[in-house]
């Protein structure tokens, strides 16, 4: 690419990489031809020696050309602040480079390797030179099939030029192309992270809006009347009469439901205790999958081992569609399950008939606010 008739840095680097590649291929061809004069095996050894030199040089070039992430510069005075806020620092390239501002484990490993390699080479320069000459001599002897050869020059010519070519090739590539690629990946990761954060914030907003709508709905619901209609009261009366509840008890229950005309009313308050005669009323509540609701299970237990020949009438809150639910003794022992939004007093009427036909009624009540799930709540959700 050219701008105003001049080559860009990218074009010059690309051309240099092309020249190095062409020269390396020509040099490898010369190495193969040289080895072929001593036989097929020598030709292969020559090619491998050149490839080894290129690989070692390329590794060194990569390590030296590996881009280093810079730490953010501290602002110590007004000049530093002016430089940080200048137009040069606000370009796209500067912004991209500032994102790469933290050392990585890979960079530390590269620094560690470079320190060891350079330090070891400088300290043992004589041994390195001697070892390199000995290796080149062994390469020469292996290719020429002459153990008596004393010249390391052929082996050196097969290895050293390729080491230089590999070093330059990988060094230029790393300096010119590796950093932009990494910057692009960093930008994409930052974009993905930003999108994830945006989604999280959006979900939080949705959850908050849902909570606000639920609270508004509950508040409006609490402000409305929750009075049972005459038809509802008739159904309750029919259920009590069908179970054989005495008239005085039926009137007490009907009066309680008729007077409960608010959402937060508690019609069964002080209706009875959790134990009456041989019967014990208990309950379990746990949070449901729906926010603000609880799963409730009511259990009636008989403690004297008497016959299971009785009827249970569950007395629920006045906001239920069916505030009074009848169950047999067997079903009541297994438990009655429903849902609630808040604690209230639940009642139970146990109607036990004697062989002579007389009915004995036991009145039980349990304040669900005594359950642990409601005692731990700082704020109460709406009533059921």
- Express each pLDDT in 31-73 by its tens digit: 999 899 999 999 999 999 999 999 999 988 887 787 765 544 4
Q: What values do phi and psi take at 282, rounded to 5?
A: -135, 165
* Pairing between β-strand 294-302 and β-strand 310-315 as defined by DSSP bridges: unpaired
Distances (CA, A) of 194 to 189, 190, 202: 8, 6, 12
User: Is the confidence at residue 100, as pLDDT, over 60?
Assistant: no
Average pLDDT on 327-342 reads 87
User: Can you tell me whether residue 319 is helix, strand or coil?
Assistant: coil
Residues 6+ apart with CB under 8 A from 197: none
Highest mean pLDDT among 35-39, 98-102, 113-117, 183-187: 35-39
Distances (CA, A) of 215 to 24, 155, 292, 380: 75, 85, 10, 11
What residue ranges define each of the domains in the chain, with the CATH number in brackets? 2-69+104-189 (no CATH), 230-375 (2.60.40.10)
**Using one digit for the tens of pLDDT, what is the confidence trace for 104-146?**
556 677 677 777 877 777 777 777 778 888 888 888 889 888 8
**Using one digit for the tens of pLDDT, what is the confidence trace for 232-245?**
999 999 999 998 89
Q: Is 314 exposed, middle or buried (0-12, 13-18, 19+ CB in 10 A)?
A: buried
Residues 6+ apart with CB under 8 A from 47: 28, 31, 32, 35
Which letter does DSSP use for residue 103 in this model?
Answer: -
Q: What values do phi and psi take at 206, rounded to 5?
A: -65, -45
Residues 6+ apart with CB under 8 A from 384: 316, 317, 319, 320, 338, 339, 340, 341, 342, 344
User: Can you tell me whether residue 194 is helix, strand or coil?
Assistant: helix
pLDDT higher for 96 or 159?
159
Q: Where are the beta strands (DSSP E) in the chain?
A: 2-3, 6-7, 275-276, 279-287, 294-302, 310-315, 324-328, 336-340, 345-353, 359-367
DSSP alpha helices (H): ranges in 124-246? 125-144, 153-173, 179-223, 230-242
- Residues for the chain: how many in total? 384
User: Can you tell me whether residue 355 is helix, strand or coil?
Assistant: coil
Mean residue pLDDT across the chain: 80
Q: What values do phi and psi take at 218, rounded to 5?
A: -65, -40
The b-or-e profile of 347-367 (16+ CB within 10 A means b, else e) is bbbbbbeeeeeeeebbbbbbb
């Amino acid at each position: 690419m050219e701008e105003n008739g001049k080559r860009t840095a990218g074009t010059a680097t690309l051309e240099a990489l092309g020249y190095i590649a062409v020269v390396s291929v020509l040099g490898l061809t010369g190495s193969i031809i040289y080895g072929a004069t001593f036989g097929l095996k020598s030709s292969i050894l020559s090619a491998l020696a050149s490839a080894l030199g290129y690989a070692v040089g390329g590794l060194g070039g990569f390590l030296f050309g590996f881009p280093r992430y810079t730490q953010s510069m501290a602002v110590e005075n007004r000049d530093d602040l002016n430089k940080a806020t200048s137009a040069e620092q606000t370009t796209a390239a500067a912004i991209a480079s500032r994102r790469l501002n933290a050392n990585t484990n890979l960079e530390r490993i590269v620094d560690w390797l470079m320190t060891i390699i350079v330090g070891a080479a400088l300290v043992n320069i004589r041994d390195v030179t001697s070892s390199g000459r000995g290796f080149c001599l062994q390469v020469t002897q292996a290719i020429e099939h002459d153990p008596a050869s004393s010249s390391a020059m052929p082996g050196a010519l097969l290895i050293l030029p390729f080491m230089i070519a590999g070093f330059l090739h990988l060094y230029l590539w790393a300096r010119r192309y590796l950093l932009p690629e990494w910057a692009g990946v960093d930008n994409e990761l930052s974009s993905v992270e930003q999108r994830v954060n945006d989604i999280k914030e959006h979900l939080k907003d949705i959850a908050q809006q849902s909570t606000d709508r639920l609270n508004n709905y509950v508040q409006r619901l609490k402000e409305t009347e929750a009075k049972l209609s005459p038809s509802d009261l008739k159904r309750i009366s029919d259920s009590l009469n069908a179970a054989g509840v005495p008239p005085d008890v039926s009137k007490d229950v009907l009066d309680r439901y008729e007077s409960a005309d608010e959402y937060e009313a508690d019609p069964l308050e002080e209706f009875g205790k959790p134990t009456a005669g041989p019967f014990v009323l208990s309950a379990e509540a746990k949070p449901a999958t729906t926010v603000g609701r609880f799963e409730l299970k009511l259990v009636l237990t008989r403690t004297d081992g008497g016959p299971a020949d009785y009827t249970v009438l569950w007395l629920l809150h006045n906001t239920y569609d069916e505030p009074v639910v009848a169950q047999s003794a067997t079903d009541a022992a297994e438990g009655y399950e429903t849902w609630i939004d808040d604690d209230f007093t639940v009642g139970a009427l146990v109607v036990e008939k004697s062989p002579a036909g007389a009915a004995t009624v036991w009145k039980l009540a349990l304040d669900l606010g005594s359950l642990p799930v409601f005692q731990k709540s700082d704020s109460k959700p709406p009533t059921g």
